[in-house]
Amino acid sequence: MGNYGDWLVMLIAGSLLLYWLYRAFYRWLHEPPGMNTKLLLSEAEDVREDDVNVQVLEKAGYEVTHGKYRIPLTIDLDGSTLYSRLFIDLIAEKDGKHYIVKTARERMPIDWTGSGVRDRLLVYALLMPNCEGVLFVDHKDSSIRTITFRFGS
């Protein structure tokens, strides 16, 4: 009878291990892309439902998952230390794809040329390479522009 008990304990332990592995795989499969995303956005502000940019995105079928986030930067320049920050306005999701959101600002208009878009938005695509792209939201026009970067011709 002791042999039967040993097998029962092994069966229960094996079942628990399989369940734990299944849950870990499921969580990994359904989490937002990239470990950097998880680390960066752990301190993001809450989404403000009264934000007009959030309303424009939601009207277009996006789900805004994270609010504003500041990324502090320390820069070494010839032995001197400089400090700066990058701002991500929002993170949105649609059809299982994640997007970094930048919003239009009157004091910083964007030049809609290849070099203007590159200079202004490429850093965000490089910061979170597993995101589908960058959404540029202009609440005055209720417009959303989708920007993706591909390297090479």
Summarised one tens digit per residue, pLDDT across range 95-139 is 989 999 999 988 988 899 999 999 999 998 888 878 899 999 999
Whether the full predicted model's pTM is greater than 0.85, yes or no, is no
Residues 131 and 70 in one domain: yes
Is 153 inside a domain boundary?
no
Residue with tokens 């005055």: 140
How many domains, in total, are found in the chain?
2
Residue with tokens 């609010």: 67
120: domain CATH number is: 3.40.1350
Q: Tell me, what's the pLDDT at 39? A: 47
Query: What residues have CB less than 8 Å from 71, skipping those under 6 apart?
Result: 40, 85, 86, 87, 88, 127
End-to-end CA distance of the chain: 71
In 89-142, at which residue ranges do the beta strands (DSSP E only) sit?
90-94, 97-103, 133-138
Is 46 inside a domain boundary?
yes
Residue 1 belongs to domain spanning: 1-30
Residues 8 and 83 in one domain: no
Residues 44 and 81 in one domain: yes
